[in-house]
Amino acid sequence: MPSNPSSLSATQREERMMTKLAKSESIETVDDMSDEYYDHLTNLMVQQADSELAGGFGYVPWIMKAPTTEEMLVVSNIVRDEVRHARAMYRLLEDAKFGVDDWVDKMDFTFRVDDSENLGDKRASSDKRVNIFYYPIESWADFVMFNFLMDRGAGHQLEDVKVSTYGPWRREIDRIFKEELTHVAHGDFWVKKLALNPATKPEIQAALDRWWPRVMAIFGRPGSRKNKRYRELGLKKRDNNDVREFFAKEVREKAETWGLTMPQWIPDWQKVPEDSVIPG
């Protein structure tokens, strides 16, 4: 990430920031930020911007493959929203003097891994997208399950930004969040519809089995030092695992009501390495 472009000294910016945070005031410009705050903020905003853009690109084929003309319009509107969200975030980054055009030109947001690949919590390329956006969407059941899970997961993460100490981001999230809720409702409608139909229940169950481990990995490891520092700076308010558990509870309640079976998920950090298992 680039260094803070402020004309003020590092000491001046640190003092200004600490004064504002102590008074529960918003951080509004790069002159209000320490180098550390700037680095963490731009990292988080690039993650969101890249994810929005990669997500929108991944949805594009489903405009043409949607089952009805009405759904073609709905999916095209979702794509428009995601690209608009990306542009809104890149605009905030431009205001923070981040080289957006150079960054985007270097990245391939259409890149996807093979569907059989298991990334865990790792990225597959040099962009900052949440790694679930590296997986391809192969069917309509895949599309709506992704919509049901990932848009909901993103919404739970964006809840923290609604109280962020960085004012411009916090205000933009209020606008983005309202549109994300309509995407979540679309996913709910279709997953319920496919789950309650005996003819389509197996394929939506298979989609849940495929996407559940992937989406559970997006929230990050519990008790991470970086997340703790985000919270100290007011860039987040909850531990990664608290967000994940709230999300998982909501999904489980809906899925089980519709007759779906929740897959087991064992995080990478709880798995026992094969070479540490004593043969029986």
pLDDT by residue for the chain (280 residues), tens digit each?
A: 567 777 788 899 999 999 999 999 999 999 999 999 999 999 999 999 999 999 999 999 999 999 999 999 999 999 999 999 999 999 999 999 999 999 999 999 999 999 999 898 889 999 999 999 999 999 999 999 999 999 999 999 999 999 999 999 999 998 898 898 999 999 999 999 999 999 999 999 999 999 999 999 999 999 999 999 999 999 999 999 999 999 999 999 999 999 999 999 888 777 655 444 443 3
Which pLDDT score, from 0 to 100, does residue 275 have? 47
| Residues whose CB falls within 8 Å of the CB of residue 81, separated by 6 or more in sequence, listed in order | 56, 179, 180, 182, 183
Q: What is the CA radius of gyration of the chain?
A: 20
Write down the CATH number for the domain with range 10-17+28-110+136-259: 1.20.1260.10
**Given this model, what pLDDT does residue 1 score?**
58
Burial of 190 (0-12, 13-18, 19+ CB in 10 A): buried
Q: Give the pLDDT score at 2.
A: 67
Rounded Cα–Cα distance for residues 136 and 158 (Å) = 24
Domain boundaries, the chain: 10-17+28-110+136-259
33: Cα separation from own chain's centroid: 24
Residue-wise pLDDT tens digits, 3-13? 777 778 889 99
Indicate the SS3 state at residue 166. Answer: strand
